[in-house]
Chain A
Amino acid sequence: GQQVMQIPQYQHVQEGEDFTTYCNSSTTLSNIQWYKQRPGGHPVFLIQLVKSGEVKKQKRLTFQFGEAKKNSSLHITATQTTDVGTYFCAGLDFNKFYFGSGTKLNVKP
């Protein structure tokens, strides 16, 4: 069945360092979404990527969708303490969303 893997599971960085999380699907996806979940909160939508090779930026966040539409990455430049949380990717395959296991980011001030 469909699987979406996400690495790393945890990442501890010093404030100001960069951070990247990777998402890999076992099948080709229609699109991929990224969400952020703060501790004790619910997932909040960040962005959606649809096209092969697409790259989108939101201030310090850069999102990329692979050419084969089976992998994606989220890169944060110069992390801040407000970036703390778990980042999930969610791939759309045959009208169902499959969430990755998430990468928990901790930022030390």
Chain B
Amino acid sequence: EADIYQTPRYLVIGTGKKITLECSQTMGHDKMYWYQQDPGMELHLIHYSYGVNSTEKGDLSSESTVSRIRTEHFPLTLESARPSHTSQYLCASSEYLGQGTDEQFFGPGTRLTVL
């Protein structure tokens, strides 16, 4: 079982609040990712990181920010939550093993509801 953790697991919050979703991994992986997934739908990449002080935007990133100060920690912040942010947020990490292998290990997810 992969060692990647997300907190909180569930969050119900009002519109306009600032929230931070936590993600930590103990595998020493350089690459980390945030995805948004609505129930039964595909995963959309929000942000990714290749290592400390490296962050890149995915296709769905305009309303959130990330930081990568430590290898093991990759928090996601929504500055002002809106009902359209209601979704499941999945964090993942991977280690480049050579020859393009990039198995992603996913955390259990944070299910966010914005009222």
Contacts and interface: CB of A to CB of B under 8 A. Distances in A.
Interface of A: 1, 30-31, 33, 35, 42-45, 48, 50, 86, 88, 90, 92, 95-102, 104
B106 interface: yes
Contacts, number: 60
B100 A43 contact: no
A1 B58 CA distance: 12
Interface residues of B, number: 25
A83 B43 CA distance: 20
Nearest to B90: A42
A interface, by DSSP: helix, strand, loop or mixed? strand
Contacts of B105: 45
A45 B103 contact: yes
Contact of A88 (B42, B45, B56): B42
Contacts of A43: 43, 90, 92, 104, 106
Contact of A1 (B43, B48, B59): B59
Contact of A44 (B59, B102, B106, B109): B106
